[in-house]
A and B are shown apart, each in its own frame.
Chain A
């Protein structure tokens, strides 16, 4: 077996060994309820047409204090003169975050604010984010980075990694997107050409660009060195900290090292963007939750989804507000944390295979593109 196949075998073994799962003191349930995120009275309901149903994933910790936070990511903003549909959806999400009652303690923006890393796009994002008055934290996505290698992003939104403690939870934000192998220098690509290649999910030149990297491994190790092994840790990343589908960088390439590093800690939750879809997985003692985009939904990986994922329903491509949204995560009494997918539609999870958008995948065998390699 090659390295990739060995990795996959290791992942399958880890998934099969439920005894190695997250702390059994953690409870995971699903429920659906009408939520009231559009707290703008009749005007808000009229503007958006309905009060959406929210599907909820609940995690209950044995210890901790109550707090709530919001996640928005993958807005993929173009300048207004190119496209306003992504702007409209970002505005809607930001208004809903600001309308949360009680307010969230903070917002985590999970990367890909811009589509092509253009300072105009990033500035537009900053203006739209001005709607939100609570504390804001940022991690970058690849679309924010490869025009100027993160210079504008870091200046406007701050560098990663970072960490802080909040009501009994150690929170870490990582950069998992800046580690692409240099495919541009030898080809004499311009900055825009480099960004263009990196902005294509199924592009081949960027290769396995997603990684945590040695420096951030040391950062994690140092940050957690004085943290009790059973206490909650939340790690925010743009890309998932496990191997889901490497061809689209739905992973970090050094995920096995990450798993080994975090193995002593029994209560780790990774919240990530990039996949633009409902996703859940457990590897070893770490759980991972995939978040929606506000821009558009990606299809599920051709090889299928993690066993523990209950797939989202097929999105209607004729409705650009469908299949997208944001998330509210709340730590309740004793540290209880709810993850609510705020998708702007009535039904979020699919019960029947024909409704899931993954049923067809069993008969879908795809090939990497060839045009961008020439």
Chain B
């Protein structure tokens, strides 16, 4: 279930990171100085907030969908109903020839295929925030799997 306070915390974390790296483009000069513990913590917080957002979207949380202005399913099915723990998503096997599409596909292509076909939802833009959140949740859950692109 979604925690509405989380959206506020995501904004707060993002602002904190901007302050830590220096607002106004100083991020262009990353790695010139050793990272501080605060910076590393802030980077991690941004990452985990996106994982949590992706987790919520993946599990069909209505509040997260509304916030991201998405319609990932019209069938009552959520991603996690076929992929608990993001199992059988196999992000480490992409890109590969994907049988359902009869084409060489990326993980984002496959996410959109599942949204449009089994779930009868609305396709996401490849570079949308919702797509990145779904992608990072899938990668995070599978992060201990070994890269194996091309495996069927």
Contacts and interface: CB of A to CB of B under 8 A. Distances in A.
A85 B74 CA distance: 11
B1 A365 contact: no
Contacts of A320: 118
A317 B81 contact: no
A298 B140 contact: no
A228 B22 CA distance: 79
B51 A366 contact: no
Instruction: Give the size range of A's interface with the partner.
Output: 35 or more
Given A193-B1, A302-B87, A371-B56, A317 B82 contact: yes
B103 to A, nearest CB: 14
B77 to A, nearest CB: 7
A115 B60 CA distance: 14
Given A296-B77, A299-B87, A365 B142 contact: yes
Contacts of B25: none
A29 interface: no
Interface stretch (B38-46, B122-130, B144-152): B144-152
B71 interface: no
Contact of A365 (B48, B83, B145, B152): B145
A302 B90 contact: no
Given A193-B1, A299-B88, A367 B6 contact: no
A318 interface: yes
A369 B141 contact: yes
Nearest to A323: B82
A371 B6 CA distance: 10
A83 interface: yes
B88 A357 contact: yes
B21 interface: no
Interface of A: 78, 82-83, 85-86, 115, 193, 196-197, 200-202, 247-248, 296-299, 302, 316-318, 320, 354, 357, 360, 363-372, 374
